[in-house]
Amino acid sequence: MMRFLKRLFFGVIFNVAAIFLCQRLLNYLFNDFYFNGALEQLVILALILSLLNLLIKPILRILFLPLIWITLGLFALIINIVLLKAATIFMPVLVIQYPMTWLAASIIISIFNSFLHRIK
C-alpha cells in the first residue's frame, strides 16, 4: 500500500511536469495543445492520469499483449493515447485536436512516466 501511494505521489509530480512541458513544447510546434485551467485543475488532471496509469494501464497491456508484440511495442503508444483521452474526458480542461499532437503528447508523458519504474 505504501509503495502504491509513493508511486501515485511521484506520478502526480511527473505528470504535472509532463503536461506543463507538453503545453509549452506542443503549443510551440503544433499550436494545438490547450490547457485551460488553473494549477489546481492541473494537479487534478495529473492525479487522474496517474490513477489511470497505475490501475488501468497494466490491465490494458495484458489484454493487448499480442498486439504489442506484433507491432513491436508501437501499440503501447495507442494505449497511452487512449489513457490520455480518458483523462481528458474526466477533466475537460485539456483540449487536443490533431492526431499528431495526441501522439506527441503521449510520447512525452510516457517518457516522464517511465521514471516511475525506477522508484521502489
Which residues make Cβ contacts (< 8 Å) with residue 65, sequence separation at least 6? none
* Any domain includes 91: yes
* Any domain includes 119: no
Q: Which of 20, 55, 53, 52 is nearest to 35 (CA)?
A: 20
Q: Which of 87, 4, 84 is nearest to 44 (CA)?
A: 87
> Tell me, what DSSP letter sits at residue 30?
T
State how far Cα 36 lies from the chain centre: 17
The amino acid at 112: F
* Any domain includes 36: yes
pLDDT for the residue 118: 81
pTM: 0.92
* Any domain includes 120: no
Domain span at 22 = 2-114
Q: Is residue 35 helix, strand or coil?
A: strand
* Any domain includes 26: yes
Q: What are the tens digits of pLDDT across the range 19-76? A: 999 999 999 999 989 999 999 999 999 999 999 999 999 999 999 999 999 999 999 9
Number of domains in the chain: 1
pLDDT for the residue 83: 96
pLDDT for the residue 1: 84
* Any domain includes 96: yes
Grid coordinates representing 115? 521514471
How far is residue 72's CA from residue 68's CA, in Å, rounded to a whole number?
A: 6
pLDDT for the residue 88: 94
H or E element at residue 95: strand 94-96
* Any domain includes 8: yes
Q: Cα-flanking dihedrals φ and ψ of residue 102, to 5°? A: -60, -45
